[in-house]
Structure 1
């Protein structure tokens, strides 16, 4: 049941929430229930209705409530202990979860030259509730680690040095994990393990001709980041997030950046070209600290089709309409936080 209170919906039960994308904002701790549990109010934004959803009285294990959020994949949040290298997957933050679950994965102690390398990105091949789920953890090192929930240890795969800070993404179309770097790369550089899906650098083709106005957007941007995303139908896109120089925010002393726009290129495997486009149909792309994902606006009424939804602690959150090159900043709809995270619809 939902209650509408001044533009904010209060959700009484997890089981009443529809399976759809949500933006997770930092939760507010209410009480310390015990040394092992904390009661919090979860804060989420519904991008379909542009309303905040508050879930009061949610009990979280202390190791989850006090952990570092690394990112999300398939609607699950990856967290790590601040004191050690334990990595966990949890759906406790997702209002669509019918069976709240937290899964502890093997520790990553000594995985890189005898020391702990921090996890930068996590990708799941499927929901952790499914038997064939494989977890890929990209480290701040030339390393990607693989395991299945229930394994006693990780399998570590070395990567080329130019993939030191690359992102990792699972492709349902190709049934493999891709490492994405701004540079083109051959697809056979990584020695993989037969017990897991292959891990390959993603081969990006050359960009097609870009309109003059879009070239100006690219050239005038101080910061540019690239993302790889796959649509539900298996199309792949390279997305470039263009940002202007930042200004210091007085309240948090944090350097904030302004989103200028996005450039989207569809991979054309026949022509071996990244074709520039301002029309991705009814698709919506979600970028941020999460594993990038894509959904149909037709399936989730209220979403703006042909748009890129973005979030970041330095940018706030909003969406960008590709056809009109218009940025819609929605940061005012939620209390500003150092933590935002898109949650994909749970499978």
Structure 2
């Protein structure tokens, strides 16, 4: 059974149409407005349109290739291009008479969840819906979280990722989790008055560089340990400082040739935990990447292999090449699953991968991959968003 991936082909990155899903109804049953669902998408850039704003280049991961010309979404250019080395930022800072270092240090994007992008500025996390295609660009929502508190021998300057328990941080019971590189994991409820961070020190170093996700099924935040042999779960009410731990037992592992084993052993490995809301299934993905080329002194990584395991409550991790009707989306956003049948044109049993320098599509049936190596300044997949008209 081969996990080696075929030679990459060029992917078609064109804008598919929005999907009409249903009608919103009033209490007496009459139709009040059309409900459109924006399929899974990502921001590929922005065209400057004045006043520091840009018209977003939105691409949808559906498999269809027609354009939807009525969706016009604007956002601050600094959210799309907040790298000090970006040409647009350099020209903008010169026009505005500002120092490039000041602009670069002012705000950086650090993650995304449910269409909300997380930014870090002067030690304060903020959630913004500016990059959500379904959100208003004339009235953007920007929620500042409480000032970060750094635990002793920890740091809060490098954020691994951000995850949310609800689609909106404005909901009273929504919990936001921020995972920092190292031992610190922090939680807060921004929808409640006088919200403050609850800080947890993680003792096991296997979680230090891992990402956090929210499990609706277990109603807990979960982290996969490095190597994928342990999952830690945190419930703020039951075991705030002592996580619930689960050991994984791998089953049905594929038989690899010597060449395949050598290739995968030479790769950098990362683990990603994702839950399907439609089926209740939990999957663990092992992603293998290797340096493809070096550009400007920066190593560009390319996906060389992917293994998908279905998890059960007993801790069994069963290797599979068939996730049914699902598509999985892995990026620097919180990972998510989408039923392919819910989006016209979407092909099931595939994994979509987006990173700083790679856009890839893995076909699980034959383990083949299509990749584009390029620079992506907003490497976040945005889960399906509802849009009322």
Please classify the TM superposition score into its range, dividing by the shorter chain length.
0.7 to 0.9
CA-atom RMSD, angstroms? 3.3
Q: How many Å apart are 1:64 and its aligned residue?
A: 9.1
Is contact 1:177-1:199 (8 Å) kept? no
Task: Flag the 1:94–1:241 CA change in 2: closer, same or farther, 3 A.
Answer: same
> TM-score scaled by structure 1?
0.80
Is contact 1:25-1:341 (8 Å) kept? no
Distance 1:199 1:40 in 2: 45
Look up the match of 2:345.
302
SS in 2 for 1:220: helix
Is contact 1:176-1:198 (8 Å) kept? no
1:60 paired with 2:103, answer no
Distance 1:215 1:112 in 2: 46
Is contact 1:217-1:260 (8 Å) kept? no
Is contact 2:79-2:108 (8 Å) kept? no
Pick one of 111, 124, 131 that aligns with 1:93.
131
1:77 paired with 2:117, answer yes
Task: Flag the 1:279–1:199 CA change in 2: closer, same or farther, 3 A.
Answer: farther
Is contact 1:176-1:197 (8 Å) kept? no
Distance 1:28 1:202 in 2: 47
The runs of at least 4 aligned residues of structure 1 exceeding 6 Å deviation read: 51-55, 61-65, 195-199
Q: How many Å apart are 1:175 and its aligned residue?
A: 0.3
Describe how 1:282-297 pairs up with structure 2 within 5 A.
282-297=325-340
1:229 paired with 2:274, answer yes
Look up the match of 2:60.
46
Distance 1:155 1:257 in 2: 35
Is contact 2:80-2:377 (8 Å) kept? no
> TM-score scaled by structure 2?
0.72
Pick one of 301, 304, 316 that aligns with 1:257.
301
Unaligned runs of 5+ in 1: 1-5
Unaligned runs of 5+ in 2: 1-12, 19-33, 83-106
Pick one of 366, 382, 387 that aligns with 1:324.
366
Rg larger for: 2
Q: How many Å apart are 1:321 and its aligned residue?
A: 0.5
Look up the match of 2:221.
177
Q: Which shifted more, 117-126 or 20-29?
A: 20-29
Deviations along 1:260-286, one digit per CA (max 9) or x if unpaired, are 23110111335x421110000011111
Distance 1:214 1:95 in 2: 45
Is contact 1:320-1:327 (8 Å) kept? yes
Look up the match of 1:243.
289
Q: How many Å apart are 1:153 and its aligned residue?
A: 2.2
Task: Flag the 1:108–1:63 CA change in 2: closer, same or farther, 3 A.
Answer: farther
Distance 1:96 1:196 in 2: 36
Q: How many Å apart are 1:172 and its aligned residue?
A: 0.3
Look up the match of 2:37.
18
